[in-house]
């Protein structure tokens, strides 16, 4: 099989014997299938009525012609050319123009049920001739047969039909065209007439399901012979630019990351986040029970960003823009000048307006148009009602991936019910978030007070403490909550505790001062005592000295008298007596 479009075939891994792919150009589908449909082989697209088979096939052709320079043939068994033109024009495809430029050839195969009379043996060579002629006319590389099953209503001899269809698919393969065959979903099998028996290379199943009154389209690659493919069901939608399949798994985690930090608009909150706020391009989750101030904090963030001159897109799923503006005016945040300057844009929609995928598509579109620096989704939980948990997680993942890819900082608020399930219910979503701030009510002393924690903040040394935040007409103020032996105190209890502490401090200060004075007093008393004693001592010393002198004198006198009497008696003790008397006389005055 020749493959002139090799350069378009995605080859992510060096795998030698890989089936060549034919890229569809349909957003997301090529990612699921690892590059596109099997080149040169027929692919069966089946699904119920109105699930988008024809559109998928038409988009395959149009994109092939426009993006990959592969002309295509559309054999339409159900719709006439003008009908098809009108249908695909609503998706922005200029089918008629492509037909004029000979990029696409549309052949309407009309089969009126019951009109054809059969007599004897026949084959479908006529159809082969037509397809062949169409392919050769424009050098088609792609063929769409939409829908072959119309044959079953026109021709009664099913044995012939089946044999011919089998031959047709083989013939298409031999012809080397990449074909898409659409078929109606059957009750117990993939297609009503079992076409999947003949098309064995690739089968894609489309589905349109209604969950809680909201319809979502799904696409699943049932089979892709000889290739790895995403086997999950992927939601897809038909938007203004065609089909977009929204795969979750295809998105790789290789976003650019920024080290730039952006302030939250609340200085104390910035301080809690390592001092400088969120990372640019990060995703932030703000969860809280009703009335904890989620919208206010997010609006504050929006306000701060817009004031810095950044564009902010505010998706509101609960309140109208005017209501948000009015409410925030009451706390001193003036948003309407920012709206007028085009820095802040609101997008309000009821969550139940349409399905999750449509919401996502609308959001993508708004984001692509406005190119915001900051996106706020308030609250993401409203959207959760539009789908199942896994769908929502998928949607949030896709949204985050999309926004991160564009370095857009995103703040999601999430409404949680009270009780302990709070953190549990958010666990699925929170793992996708870079930062998670939890707002909570503290009830006690007959009042409710708001507190916030930073539960996590990837890549920054964030505060582990609980903070109380106050909302006043001057805005938001984050204050330290009282944390002491009796637990966390907020509001008036915190104030009371605060004054109690103040009083205690005062008391202890006073006590300390008193003790100080006491010490001083005692010292003074001691001093006094010491000086008294010294005075006593002085007096005593003088007296003693006087006595000593008297004693010395007396001793000398006695000595002299004794020496004199010794001399008289002829004794020899002169020296000893004289010395003792001298020593005493020397010592005493000291």
Partner 1 sequence: MKTKTPKRPAAAPRPSGKRWQLRLYVTGQTMRSLTALTNLKKICENHLAGEYSITVIDLLKQPQLARGDQILAVPTVVRKLPKPVRILIGNLSDTECVLVGLDLRVES
Q: Which residue, 114 or 484, is less far from partner 1 as judged by CB?
A: 114
DSSP letters spanning 487-554: EEE-HHHHHHHHHHHHHHHHHHHHHHHHHHHHHHHHHHHHHHHHHHHHHHHHHHHHHHHHHHHHHHHH
Look at residue 409 and give its three-state secondary structure: strand
Q: Which residue, 123 or 536, is less far from partner 1 as judged by CB?
A: 123
List b or e across 433-442, with b for residues whose CB sees 16 or more CB atoms inside 10 angstroms.
Answer: bbbbbbbbbb
Look at residue 406 and give its three-state secondary structure: coil
- Taking the complex as a whole, the smallest distance from the CB of residue 148 to partner 1 amounts, in Å, to 11
Q: 80, 90, 92, 123: which one contacts partner 1 (CB under 8 A)?
A: 123
Which CB contacts under 8 angstroms, 24+ apart, belong to 462-467? 462/272, 462/273, 462/274, 462/435, 463/271, 463/272, 463/273, 465/272, 467/268, 467/272
Count of residues that bind partner 1 according to CB under 8 A: 25
Per CB under 8 A, which region of 151-159, 281-289, 479-487, 513-521 contacts partner 1? Answer: 151-159
- Taking the complex as a whole, the smallest distance from the CB of residue 199 to partner 1 amounts, in Å, to 19
Q: Which residue, 114 or 446, is less far from partner 1 as judged by CB?
A: 114
Q: How many CB atoms lie within 10 A of CB 443?
A: 12
Distance separating alpha carbons of residues 468 and 497, to the nearest angstrom:
14
Q: Tokens in use for 108?
A: 């309407």
SS3 string of 141-174?
CEEEEECCCHHHHHCCCHHHHHHHHHHHHHHHHH
Q: 127, 245, 262, 356: which one contacts partner 1 (CB under 8 A)?
A: 127
Instruction: Please provide residue 540's backbone torsions phi and psi, each rounded to the nearest 5 degrees.
Output: -60, -45
Tokens 């290379």 belong to which residue?
201
- Beta-strand pair 37-38/21-22: antiparallel
Residue 318 among the catalytic residues? yes
**Do 393 and 333 meet the contact criterion of CB atoms below 8 Å apart?**
no
- Taking the complex as a whole, the smallest distance from the CB of residue 132 to partner 1 amounts, in Å, to 7
- Taking the complex as a whole, the smallest distance from the CB of residue 86 to partner 1 amounts, in Å, to 21
Position 240 contacts partner 1 (CB under 8 A): no
Q: Which residue, 159 or 253, is less far from partner 1 as judged by CB?
A: 159
Residue 447 among the catalytic residues? no
Site track 93-122 with partner 1 (rule: CB under 8 A), x = hit = --------------x-xxx---xxxxxxxx
**Do 355 and 394 meet the contact criterion of CB atoms below 8 Å apart?**
no
Q: How far is CA 176 from CA 132, 165, 167, 172, in A?
A: 12, 17, 14, 6
Q: 6, 15, 133, 545: which one contacts partner 1 (CB under 8 A)?
A: 133
Q: Which residue, 81 or 336, is less far from partner 1 as judged by CB?
A: 81
Q: Which residue, 119 or 213, is less far from partner 1 as judged by CB?
A: 119
Distance separating alpha carbons of residues 453 and 430, to the nearest angstrom:
14
- Taking the complex as a whole, the smallest distance from the CB of residue 157 to partner 1 amounts, in Å, to 9
- Taking the complex as a whole, the smallest distance from the CB of residue 76 to partner 1 amounts, in Å, to 12
DSSP letters spanning 13-30: S--SSPPPEE----BTHH
Distance separating alpha carbons of residues 47 and 190, to the nearest angstrom:
8
Look at residue 287 and give its three-state secondary structure: strand
Site for partner 1 in 503-532 (CB under 8 A): none
Q: Which residue, 125 or 174, is less far from partner 1 as judged by CB?
A: 125
Identified catalytic residue from 78, 81, 197, 336:
78
- Taking the complex as a whole, the smallest distance from the CB of residue 150 to partner 1 amounts, in Å, to 10
Per CB under 8 A, which region of 147-155, 253-261, 279-287, 294-302 contacts partner 1? Answer: 147-155
Q: Tokens in use for 420?
A: 């302990």
Q: Which residue, 130 or 365, is less far from partner 1 as judged by CB?
A: 130
Tell me which DSSP letter residue 317 carries.
Answer: S
Q: How many CB atoms lie within 10 A of CB 137?
A: 13
- Taking the complex as a whole, the smallest distance from the CB of residue 235 to partner 1 amounts, in Å, to 37
Q: 89, 129, 368, 533: which one contacts partner 1 (CB under 8 A)?
A: 129
Q: 130, 209, 261, 308: which one contacts partner 1 (CB under 8 A)?
A: 130
DSSP letters spanning 491-509: HHHHHHHHHHHHHHHHHHH
Q: Which residue, 105 or 237, is less far from partner 1 as judged by CB?
A: 105
Per CB under 8 A, which region of 127-135, 214-222, 227-235, 370-378 contacts partner 1? Answer: 127-135
Q: 19, 44, 124, 297: which one contacts partner 1 (CB under 8 A)?
A: 124
Q: 154, 274, 321, 578: which one contacts partner 1 (CB under 8 A)?
A: 154
DSSP letters spanning 212-263: TTEEEEEEEEEEETTS----SEEEEEEETTEEEE--STT--S-------EE-
**Do 205 and 46 meet the contact criterion of CB atoms below 8 Å apart?**
yes
Q: Which residue, 116 or 533, is less far from partner 1 as judged by CB?
A: 116
Look at residue 32 and give its three-state secondary structure: helix
- Taking the complex as a whole, the smallest distance from the CB of residue 108 to partner 1 amounts, in Å, to 8
Per CB under 8 A, which region of 149-157, 271-279, 372-380, 510-518 contacts partner 1? Answer: 149-157
Site for partner 1 in 267-296 (CB under 8 A): none
- Taking the complex as a whole, the smallest distance from the CB of residue 214 to partner 1 amounts, in Å, to 41
Position 132 contacts partner 1 (CB under 8 A): yes
Q: 126, 226, 405, 487: which one contacts partner 1 (CB under 8 A)?
A: 126
Site track 60-99 with partner 1 (rule: CB under 8 A), x = hit = ----------------------------------------
Q: How many CB atoms lie within 10 A of CB 585?
A: 16
Q: Which residue, 128 or 364, is less far from partner 1 as judged by CB?
A: 128
Q: How many CB atoms lie within 10 A of CB 96?
A: 17
- Taking the complex as a whole, the smallest distance from the CB of residue 124 to partner 1 amounts, in Å, to 5
Site for partner 1 in 357-396 (CB under 8 A): none
Identified catalytic residue from 81, 233, 318, 336:
318
Cite the active site residues.
78, 318
Site residues, partner 1 (CB under 8 A): 107, 109-111, 115-130, 132-133, 151, 154-155
């Amino acid at each position: 099989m020749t493959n002139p479009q090799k350069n378009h075939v995605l080859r992510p891994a060096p795998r030698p014997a890989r089936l060549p792919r034919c890229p569809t150009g349909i957003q997301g589908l090529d990612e699921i299938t690892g590059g596109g449909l099997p080149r040169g082989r027929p692919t069966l697209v089946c699904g119920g009525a109105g699930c988008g088979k024809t559109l998928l096939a038409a988009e395959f052709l149009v994109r092939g012609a426009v993006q990959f320079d592969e002309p295509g043939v559309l054999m339409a068994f159900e719709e006439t050319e003008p009908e098809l033109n009108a249908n695909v024009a609503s998706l922005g495809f200029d089918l008629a123009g492509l037909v004029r430029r000979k990029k696409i050839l549309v052949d309407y195969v009309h089969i009126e049920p019951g009109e054809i009379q059969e007599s004897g043996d026949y084959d479908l060579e006529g159809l082969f001739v037509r397809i062949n002629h169409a392919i050769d006319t424009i050098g088609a590389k792609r063929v769409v047969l939409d829908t072959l099953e119309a044959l079953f209503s026109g021709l009664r001899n099913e044995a012939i039909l089946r044999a011919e269809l089998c031959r047709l698919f083989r013939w298409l393969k031999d012809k080397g065209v990449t074909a898409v065959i659409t078929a109606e979903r059957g009750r117990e099998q993939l297609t009503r007439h079992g076409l999947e028996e003949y098309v064995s290379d690739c089968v894609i199943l489309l589905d349109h399901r209604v969950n809680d009154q909201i319809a979502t389209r799904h696409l699943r690659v049932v089979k892709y012979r000889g290739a790895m493919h995403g086997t999950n069901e992927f939601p897809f939608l038909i938007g203004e630019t065609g089909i977009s399949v929204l795969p979750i798994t295809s998105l790789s985690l290789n976003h650019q990351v920024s080290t730039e930090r952006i302030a939250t608009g609340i200085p104390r909150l910035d301080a809690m986040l390592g001092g400088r706020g969120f990372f640019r391009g990060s995703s932030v989750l703000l969860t809280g029970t009703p009335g904890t101030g989620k919208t206010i904090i997010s609006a504050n963030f929006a306000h701060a960003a817009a004031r810095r001159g950044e564009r902010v897109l505010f998706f509101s799923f609960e309140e109208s823009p005017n209501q948000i503006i009015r409410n925030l005016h009451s706390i001193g945040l003036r948003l309407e000048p920012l709206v007028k300057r085009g820095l802040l844009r609101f997008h309000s929609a009821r969550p139940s307006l349409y399905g999750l995928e449509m919401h996502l598509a609308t959001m993508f579109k708004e984001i692509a148009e406005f190119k915001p620096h900051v996106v706020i989704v308030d609250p993401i939980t409203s959207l959760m009602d539009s789908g199942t948990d896994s769908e929502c997680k998928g949607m949030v993942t896709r949204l985050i991936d999309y926004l991160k890819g564009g370095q857009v900082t995103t703040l999601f608020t999430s409404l949680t019910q009270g009780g302990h399930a709070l953190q549990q219910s958010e666990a699925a979503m929170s793992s996708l978030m870079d930062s998670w701030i939890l707002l909570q009510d503290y009830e006690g002393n007959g009042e409710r007070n708001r507190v916030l924690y930073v539960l996590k903040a990837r890549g920054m040394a964030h505060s582990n403490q609980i903070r109380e935040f106050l909302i006043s007409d001057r805005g938001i103020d984050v204050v330290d909550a009282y944390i002491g032996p009796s637990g966390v105190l907020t509001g008036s209890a915190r104030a009371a505790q605060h004054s109690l502490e103040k009083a205690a401090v005062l008391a202890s200060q006073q006590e300390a001062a008193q003790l100080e004075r006491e010490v001083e007093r005692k010292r003074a008393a001691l001093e006094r005592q010491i000086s008294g004693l010294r005075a006593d001592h002085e007096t005593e010393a003088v007296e003693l000295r006087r006595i000593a002198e008297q004693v010395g004198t007396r001793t000398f006198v006695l000595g002299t008298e004794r020496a004199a009497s010794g001399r008289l008696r002829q004794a020899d003790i002169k020296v000893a007596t004289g010395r003792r008397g001298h020593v005493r006389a020397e010592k005493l005055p000291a």
